[in-house]
Amino acid sequence: MARVFIISNRVALPNAGVQPGGLEVALKATLRKHSCVWLGWSGEVGETPQTRRIDRGDNSYVVSDLCTADFEEYYNGFANRVLWPVLHYRLDLAEFSRRDLSGYLRVNARFADELARLLQPDDLVWVHDYHLFPLARALRGRGFANPIGFFLHIPMPPPEILAALPNHENLIPALSDYDLVGFQTDGDAANFARYLAKELGMPSHMSLRLGSGERAMRIGAFPVGIETRRFTRMAERAVRTSLVDEVLRSIPGALMIGVDRMDYSKGIPQRLEAYERFLAAYPQWHGKITFLQITPKSRSQIPEYSDIQQAVNATAGRINGTYATASWTPVRYVNRPYSRTALSGLYRASRVGLVTPMRDGMNLVAKEYVAAQDPDDPGVLVLSRFAGAAAEMPEALLVNPYDPEAVGAAIARAMEMPLEERRRRHAALYAALLRNDIGKWGDRFLTALKGDRPKPGSHAGAALLNDLLAAPRTAAPKPH
Ligand code: GDG
């Protein structure tokens, strides 16, 4: 069996403690099933960057430090201040500089060098996320012909937005050096296909001539799931722990929960405003609902992130200032991470899960909340229609996070929902989680990557593709 090389910006080292983030959660099952080498940034910044290797069972972890310039330009700069906002439809927040772009390309070249030292010809390479768009191009330039796949965890916006990204005409077509490019939803894959058609005149499944053979990039949707049954079992146990018990005993009435990294894409200030509208419009619920928002810090060196932190603090303070009584605090805002077990118990204990990102690739919290519920007395998921998860979860109460009154009304509906309807919705949502369990996600992607590479001279493996655009090819792709 070939080794699987996973490359992502951050690497979750074994026993490294709580690191909130969807990528780690998504990759766990793949690491358990395959012999993997996971390579990326150590999370350390230093002037004499070191590389470390840790072997654990069948897996190895190879992590390198970044120097200060790399950290500022590649990570804080181009990845998080340009690509993250643009891909989340927030052109207004993007701050482009050529220096950051060159830092981004430099770090991608460094990862390619690191990989080049370790790769054998039959190894599969699976690259993750927006930090590493040009990695396949850098590897191909070093002569590697291995199957290389890319998965984008965050949204792919329509070409009209993507075209506003300075240098998109070099950066986005660099994805064509991958054999397989995967997205969270059909909508994201369709946006990419439209970009290829509009900007480059390519159909969605095109073939590129490369050297003497022919290679084709294929695109498809591979929605990320969770380890559903495992998460359910964890929640069953965790709900009986003293932490959950103490939380429940300390509040009057029902619990409503939100769990998100601190990020403007997650819509936390807007969610609090919606809760404020709910409290204003439905006074019968005063003293009977407590909203627990758990928000571990993330990327706190970027000013936009401290801005939302202040906005969240101010709104939570205003709500509590307006509505709190001696025995009831309407919002509990917690700014630190909890263990995964504790989170699962808190989800299960919550009558409502409020997951209202302004834009999200998938959103695993929505899936975890459903997996954690007691099927006999399940809570209700209120979910943003702009989370990728909404495509698979139509039985949630789908809301527009830009409409605080509608979100407030959905909270009221969730609180009032009869048991039978809650059970029916939960059963359908749970069945969808099982159909797309995370173990299948890694397998589907890797099978697609290794199993269906077109033979030299053949056309792209159309069976795997979403045939998103039927447009004939109108222009040749640019040479490399
Ligand atoms: C990206 C995409 C996509 C949160 N707080 C704590 C904690 N978490 C865990 C949650 C969940 C994960 O972190 C967050 O995953 P999300 O999917 O919600 O969001 P991103 O981190 O933005 O992930 C996203 C994902 O990649 C996977 O493809 O779904 O759209 O943006 O699992 O439970 N975990 C612990 N303590 C916390 O306090 N232990």
User: Taken in order 454, 455, 456, 457, is the CA torsion positive or negative?
Assistant: negative
For the Cβ of 361 lying below 6 angstroms from any atom of ligand 1, the answer is yes
Please report where in the chains the tokens 């796949």 appear, as a residue: 149
- 153 included as an active-site residue: yes
Least reliable range by pLDDT among 300-304, 314-318, 342-346, 406-410? 300-304
Which is the catalytic residue, given 153, 260, 426, 452?
153
Q: Over 90: is that where the pLDDT of 167 sits?
A: yes
For the Cβ of 368 lying below 6 angstroms from any atom of ligand 1, the answer is yes
Ligand 1 nearest atom to the CA of residue 155, by list position = 30
List domains and CATH numbers for the chain. Answer: 4-225+443-470 (3.40.50.2000), 228-435 (3.40.50.2000)
Closest residue (by CA) to atom 38 of ligand 1? 337
Can you give the pLDDT at residue 452?
Answer: 55
More confident residue, 363 or 208: 363
Closest residue (by CA) to atom 15 of ligand 1? 22
pTM above 0.85, yes or no: yes
For the Cβ of 259 lying below 6 angstroms from any atom of ligand 1, the answer is yes
Closest residue (by CA) to atom 23 of ligand 1? 22
Distance 10 CA to ligand 1 centre (A): 14
Ligand 1 nearest atom to the CA of residue 365, by list position = 18
Average pLDDT over residues 71-87: 97
Distance 401 CA to ligand 1 centre (A): 19
Least reliable range by pLDDT among 120-134, 249-263, 300-314? 300-314
More confident residue, 210 or 169: 169
Closest residue (by CA) to atom 19 of ligand 1? 22
Closest residue (by CA) to atom 25 of ligand 1? 22
Give residue 299's pLDDT band: very low, low, confident or very high (50, 70, 90): low
Best mutation site among 154, 365, 441 for ligand 1 pocket (most ligand atoms within 8 Å of CB): 365
What are 342-374's pLDDT values in tens digits? 999 999 999 999 999 999 999 999 999 999 999
For the Cβ of 363 lying below 6 angstroms from any atom of ligand 1, the answer is yes
Distance 316 CA to ligand 1 centre (A): 22
What are 216-230's pLDDT values in tens digits? 889 999 999 998 999
Can you give the pLDDT at residue 454?
Answer: 44
Distance 362 CA to ligand 1 centre (A): 9
Burial of 300 (0-12, 13-18, 19+ CB in 10 A): exposed
- 360 included as an active-site residue: yes
For the Cβ of 362 lying below 6 angstroms from any atom of ligand 1, the answer is yes
Rounded to the nearest 10°, the torsion over CA 410, 412, 413, 416 is 160
